[in-house]
């Protein structure tokens, strides 16, 4: 794409005003464009949902349409949370407390969930994401009631890739309640791909989403990969989460998990593997050579002690040119991608006694460009460039956390402000969150419904079941 700041304000060479639905002026714009320009006094012209012009304000073209003066606010592309489970949002904080079994966690997560419960959880999750600067996410198969999840995402207006839970070989009690036979899984998968097609204007769309982690049969994996090709969509699945999974693969198939995927023909640029904690050198070579994408979820591993920071080789993968997006996962911490970026940028330093390991700039790339690649949308989102969709995050200038305002705001974003100063969020140029208020939904109504639902869940789970301190009523 031509760089408008060097080619002049009107790319077509005419004096006609550039059509605009919204002109954001005087932002400190972290573009993530190929040159990684930071515009210290930048302007973004939005038209028909896309970025029509971006450059220094002094070079801005004449425009039609309303302007907003950002008064030096930091602007960056919407963040991409590449691994989410929206369905667990309304039970966050109850369990796990520590080493509870996965069956217990699952019981809490899926306990009698109705479509209403799932829609409400997805609505809350989308609100949480948007208000912390995330504009696109993928749920790697977390829905029992897919349409309900999709309704929740659409109500808030963000981009989302929801998915059925698809697992046909539950092991050791894991996912027994939500597993199904291979044909049923494939029928559900085809259903989600048909119902939510991968269309340019669809904010909610479906990819091939599998549970993975050894809980899908060879037949399901190969048929799912065939569907990903047929529908031309990404294939996203959990993988290599812990040592038990590696041991089970060696015992059951005679090879490590990623080698098994290679043998089944699943590796490649269309495939995104989430977690990838317990991998060896040969598996990482396979990932690099095939262009397979990876998602690193620091919080999930830290909460469950799986080794993503201790054993994971994510800085090496980034250095090798592998796409490594970030994900917040489920029941492991806040739906806040900035927290994942902070952890990725800091914990490796401490563990390896090495500075900087991953820089703030690199984790910001992982949060945007890598996320867009991992979810098959790098032509559309992930940076602020002419022609891309206007998915933008504007930070506040008037909060205690807003200052100091340096020309280079990258370390401020990653190490200090994070989500706390997110103020205004746009998707397709539509303002979804305007100076702290949601524009499409009634926040009070949603929160009241969530509060009611939480009481019901708490009664069903047993309010004293996990509490370590006495609850005095």
Q: List interacting residues with Zn ion (CB under 5 A).
A: 329
CB of 367 vs Zn ion, minimal distance in Å: 18
CB of 245 vs Zn ion, minimal distance in Å: 13
Question: Is the Cβ of residue 4 or residue 160 nearer to Zn ion in the bound state?
Answer: 160
CB of 332 vs Zn ion, minimal distance in Å: 9
Give the residue at shortest CB distance from Zn ion.
329
Question: Is the Cβ of residue 329 or residue 423 nearer to Zn ion in the bound state?
Answer: 329
Question: Is the Cβ of residue 49 or residue 96 nearer to Zn ion in the bound state?
Answer: 96
CB of 87 vs Zn ion, minimal distance in Å: 11
∠ CA(250), CA(351), CA(358), 5° rounding?
Answer: 95
Peptide bond into 84 cis (omega under 30): no
Question: Is the Cβ of residue 273 or residue 419 nearer to Zn ion in the bound state?
Answer: 273
CB of 109 vs Zn ion, minimal distance in Å: 11
CB of 296 vs Zn ion, minimal distance in Å: 12
CB of 196 vs Zn ion, minimal distance in Å: 20
- Contact between 86 and 299 under an 8 Å Cβ cutoff? The reply is no
Coil, helix or strand at residue 423? strand
Question: Is the Cβ of residue 56 or residue 334 nearer to Zn ion in the bound state?
Answer: 334
Question: Is the Cβ of residue 117 or residue 329 nearer to Zn ion in the bound state?
Answer: 329
CB of 183 vs Zn ion, minimal distance in Å: 24
- Contact between 229 and 223 under an 8 Å Cβ cutoff? The reply is no
25 Rama class: left (phi>0) / alpha (psi -120 to 50) / beta: beta
Is the Cα dihedral 94, 97, 102, 104 positive or negative?
negative
Peptide bond into 356 cis (omega under 30): yes
Question: Is the Cβ of residue 242 or residue 329 nearer to Zn ion in the bound state?
Answer: 329
Peptide bond into 96 cis (omega under 30): yes
CA distance linking residue 61 with residue 14, whole number of Å: 10
- Contact between 159 and 427 under an 8 Å Cβ cutoff? The reply is yes
φ and ψ of 102, to 5 deg:
-65, -30
Question: Is the Cβ of residue 61 or residue 312 nearer to Zn ion in the bound state?
Answer: 312
- Contact between 30 and 37 under an 8 Å Cβ cutoff? The reply is no
Q: Whose CA is closest to 137, among 325, 343, 334, 419?
A: 325
CA distance linking residue 62 with residue 81, whole number of Å: 36
Q: Which two tokens stand for residue 73?
A: 């606010």
CB of 106 vs Zn ion, minimal distance in Å: 12
* Strand 38-47 to 22-30 pairing: antiparallel
Question: Is the Cβ of residue 216 or residue 329 nearer to Zn ion in the bound state?
Answer: 329
């Amino acid at each position: 794409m031509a760089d408008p700041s060097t080619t002049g304000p009107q790319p077509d060479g005419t004096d006609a005003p550039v059509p605009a639905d919204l002109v954001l002026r005087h932002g400190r714009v972290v573009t993530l464009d190929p040159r990684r320009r930071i515009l210290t006094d930048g302007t973004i012209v939005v038209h028909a949902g896309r970025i029509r012009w971006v450059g220094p304000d002094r070079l801005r073209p004449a425009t039609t349409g309303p302007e907003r003066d950002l008064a030096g606010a930091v602007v960056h592309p919407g963040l991409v949370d590449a691994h989410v489970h929206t369905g667990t949002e309304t039970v966050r904080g109850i369990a796990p407390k520590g080493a509870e079994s996965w069956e217990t966690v699952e019981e809490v997560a899926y306990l009698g969930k109705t479509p209403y419960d799932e829609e409400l959880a997805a609505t809350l999750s989308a609100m949480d994401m948007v208000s912390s600067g995330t504009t696109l996410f993928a749920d790697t198969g977390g829905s029992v009631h897919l349409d309900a999840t999709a309704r929740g995402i659409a109500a808030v207006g963000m981009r989302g890739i929801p998915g059925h839970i698809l697992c046909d070989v539950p092991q050791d009690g894991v996912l027994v309640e939500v597993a199904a036979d291979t044909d049923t899984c494939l029928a559900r998968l085809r259903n989600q791909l048909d119902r939510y097609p991968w269309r340019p204007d669809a904010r909610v769309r479906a990819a091939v989403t599998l549970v993975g982690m050894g809980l899908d049969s060879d037949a399901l994996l190969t048929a799912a990969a065939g569907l990903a090709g047929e529908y031309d969509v990404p294939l996203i699945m959990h993988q290599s989460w812990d040592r038990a999974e590696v041991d089970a693969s060696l015992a059951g198939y005679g090879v490590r998990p990623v080698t098994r995927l290679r043998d089944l023909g699943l590796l490649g640029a269309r495939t995104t593997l989430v977690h990838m904690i317990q991998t060896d050198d040969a598996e990482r070579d396979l990932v690099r050579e095939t262009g397979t994408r990876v998602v690193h979820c620091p919080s999930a591993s830290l909460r469950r002690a799986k080794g993503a920071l201790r054993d994971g080789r994510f800085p090496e993968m980034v250095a090798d040119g592998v796409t490594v997006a970030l994900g917040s996962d489920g029941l492991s911490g806040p739906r806040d991608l900035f927290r994942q970026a902070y952890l990725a940028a800091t914990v490796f330093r401490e563990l390896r006694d090495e500075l900087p390991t991953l820089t703030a700039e690199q984790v910001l790339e992982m949060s945007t460009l890598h996320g867009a690649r991992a979810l098959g949308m790098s032509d559309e989102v992930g940076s602020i460039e002419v022609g891309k969709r206007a998915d933008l995050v504007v930070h506040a200038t008037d909060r205690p956390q807003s200052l100091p305002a340096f020309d280079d705001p990258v370390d401020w974003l990653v190490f200090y402000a994070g989500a706390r100063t997110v103020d205004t969020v746009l998707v397709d140029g539509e303002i979804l969150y305007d100076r702290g208020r949601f524009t499409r939904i009634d926040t009070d109504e949603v929160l009241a419904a969530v509060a009611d639902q939480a009481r019901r869940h708490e009664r069903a789970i047993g309010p004293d079941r996990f509490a370590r301190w006495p609850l005095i009523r």
